[in-house]
Amino acid sequence: MEVLICESPGTLRYGTRNAPVPGEKETLLRVRRIGICGTDLHAFEGTQPYFTYPRILGHELAGEIVEVNGTSAFRSGDIVTFLPYFSCGHCVACRQGKTNCCADLKVCGVHIDGGMADYLVVPTENLVAGRGIGLDALALVEPLAIGAHGIRRANVNSGEPVLVIGAGPIGMGAMQFARLAGADVIALDVDERRLAFCRERLGVPYTITAKEDVLTRLRDITGGDMPAVVIDATGNLNAIQEGFRYMSHGGRYVLIGLQKGDIAFSHPEFHKREGTLMSSRNATRKDFDQVVQAISQGAVDPEAYITHRVTFAAAGEAFPSWLDRKSGVIKAMVMRD
């Protein structure tokens, strides 16, 4: 079995391993598509928290079932994706149905080896049926589910102004599901090309570049109220800390992006707003189901995000270039047929 291994920051090499064998209640998948996520890129450059090397990356996947060990409605040949978050099932979070933030969570491609390989074994209970969705779109259910989960955490209401900081794939997913919730979406990013994509392809009505007077623009757009919901999808320390200034009174701030260090903000300013600060980690099956339904109904088109496609054999050489914004990458897709 051929695999692509990240041995240390800035290094990738191809290797071979024995094909995995599914245990009880596990399924063997032949990997067909691998979406490249910010997590993968941060791991490659050495800035991803909770990460150890060497590691086989890859958690945005679509695959074909080879073998199911045990009783299941799934069959050999089915096209599926899966929840790449393997939870313990009995901790305080799992008992509340919050398996996305299990106290002993193992994320595929982060804490344990992932799907940049010919084959991958996953728990059968984590499988998500393809429902006729194409391989490319199916591989992108997971990042869209992360955005959908953040919007659900924020309890976005129709007509509310929602600011999403960061116009990468996760931020774009948050924008789309905020729009589907009826929000007035505002996108903020440093890259005008990505903001143009948000306007032209995603229907985002308001965009702001970081070079502008952000506070003035937000006041103008919201009639002085400021955004009721602010969502960070950058993981950038400065962007996260600036985001506190953009909240309305009574507003909510959701951190989807993850920062390695400490964050700091003015307590008096936050307190007088009676602000709500929360994190949003991964996604749940409810979010996956929402995304699959939105794709099936044509409300969301994941394939619009894909700017780069490469074969598995070319992925190692192409990978470093995707760190450079000048490459124009929004979402890279690795293909295995």
Q: Residue 272 to residues 45, 47, 241, 249: CA-CA distances in angstroms?
A: 39, 34, 17, 8
Say how far apart CA 46 and CA 39 lie, in whole Å.
Answer: 10
pLDDT of 261 = 85
Half-sphere exposure of residue 247: CA atoms within 13 angstroms, side-chain side: 28
**Statement: residue 260 has pLDDT above 90:** no
Tokens matching residue 181: 């919730």
Selected residue with higher pLDDT from 287 and 50? 287
Say how far apart CA 322 and CA 331 lie, in whole Å.
Answer: 9
Instruction: Tell me the mean pLDDT in the region 197-216.
Output: 96
**pLDDT, tens only, 29-64:** 999 999 999 889 989 998 888 789 999 999 999 999
Say how far apart CA 2 and CA 16 lie, in whole Å.
Answer: 4
Residue ranges, CATH 3.90.180.10, the chain: 2-139+301-335
First to last CA, the chain: 15
In this structure, what is the dihedral angle of CA atoms 47, 49, 54, 58, given to the nearest 10 degrees?
-90
Instruction: Tell me the mean pLDDT in the region 93-122.
Output: 96
The answer to whether 79 and 64 are in contact (CB under 8 A) is: yes
pLDDT of 276 = 98
Q: Say yes or no: domain 146-279 is CATH 3.40.50.720.
A: yes
Residue ranges, CATH 3.40.50.720, the chain: 146-279
Calculate the CA 164 to chain-centre distance: 14
pLDDT of 215 = 98
Q: Say yes or no: domain 2-139+301-335 is CATH 3.30.450.40.
A: no
**Statement: residue 208 has pLDDT above 90:** yes
